[in-house]
């Protein structure tokens, strides 16, 4: 589990193509690289990945084809930067919201509006998740815990303060960029429960 508070950005050192999978070597900040065991979970752009080997602050991860298709990890190239967060420990402060690292969908940036003190970014909203994305609700984008500011029929907006833009890479975001989205699981559970209750009442 993760909190959605990005601890640092990593850079992709190398990518090895395999049969229906990719192996990444990612250089993480040294502050994140202490006491990491093989098999530990680290969220990369919000996707929970398993450490397969480590050399100093260089970490290896294997990513299967299904994850490559569902997330933006399949689009990454050598030298690209990614958001990183180590898994939550008991007693840690949860500054964001509880995130599983299981990506719901990849969404595309459709519009960016720069303002004096913040930046508003609009993302295309898949129809299947329209019922899960609500104004003032939690959402995780590339592993960053954020609050939805507004929602339309086919898109939603998130406002970023300068510190978040700086520390998460969203400051370099461009229209057309694909971003990993994990919807809030509590919201998803409530919606599914209500749907089941309503369906049972109609039978």
Q: What is the mean pLDDT of the chain?
A: 93
DSSP 129: G
Which two structure tokens, joined as six digits, stand for 116?
Answer: 């004096």
Q: Could you tell me the pLDDT band of residue 124, with boundaries at 50, 70 and 90?
A: very high
The whole-number pLDDT of residue 116 equals: 81
Residue in 125, 138, 136, 123 with CA at minimum distance from that of residue 187: 138
> For position 88, what pLDDT does the model report?
87
User: Residues with Cβ < 8 Å from 93, sequence gap 6 or more?
Assistant: 3
| Predicted model pTM | 0.92
Burial of 48 (0-12, 13-18, 19+ CB in 10 A): buried
Kindly list the structural domains of the chain, giving each domain's residue range(s) and its CATH number in brackets, ordered by start. Answer: 8-86 (2.40.30.20), 105-196 (2.40.30.20)
DSSP letter for 2, please.
Answer: B
The mean pLDDT of 120-128, rounded to a whole number, is 95
Q: How confident is the model at residue 195 (pLDDT cuts 50, 70, 90)?
A: confident
Higher pLDDT, 90 or 39: 39
Residue 96 confidence (pLDDT): 81
Task: Show Cβ contacts of residue 7 under 8 Å, excluding neighbours closer than 6 positions.
Answer: 29, 31, 32, 84, 85, 86
Provide the token pair at 115: 């303002």
């Amino acid at each position: 589990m993760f909190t959605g508070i990005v601890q640092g950005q990593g850079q992709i050192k190398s990518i090895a193509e395999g049969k229906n999978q990719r192996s990444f070597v990612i250089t993480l900040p040294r502050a994140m690289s202490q006491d990491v065991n093989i098999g530990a979970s680290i969220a990369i752009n919000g996707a929970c990945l398993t450490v397969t080997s480590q050399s100093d602050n260089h970490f290896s991860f294997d990513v299967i084809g299904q994850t490559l298709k569902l997330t933006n990890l399949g689009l990454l190239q050598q030298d690209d930067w990614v958001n990183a967060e180590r898994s939550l420990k008991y007693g840690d402060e949860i500054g964001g919201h509880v995130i599983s690292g299981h990506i719901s969908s990849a969404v595309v940036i459709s519009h960016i509006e720069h303002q004096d003190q913040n930046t508003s970014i609009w993302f295309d909203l898949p129809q299947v998740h329209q019922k899960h994305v609500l104004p003032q609700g939690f959402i995780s984008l590339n592993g960053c815990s954020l609050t939805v500011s507004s929602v339309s029929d086919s898109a939603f907006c998130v406002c970023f303060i300068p510190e978040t833009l700086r520390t998460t890479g969203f400051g370099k975001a461009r229209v057309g960029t694909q971003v990993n989205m994990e919807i809030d699981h509590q919201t998803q559970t409530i919606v599914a429960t209500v749907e089941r209750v309503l369906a049972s009442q109609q039978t």
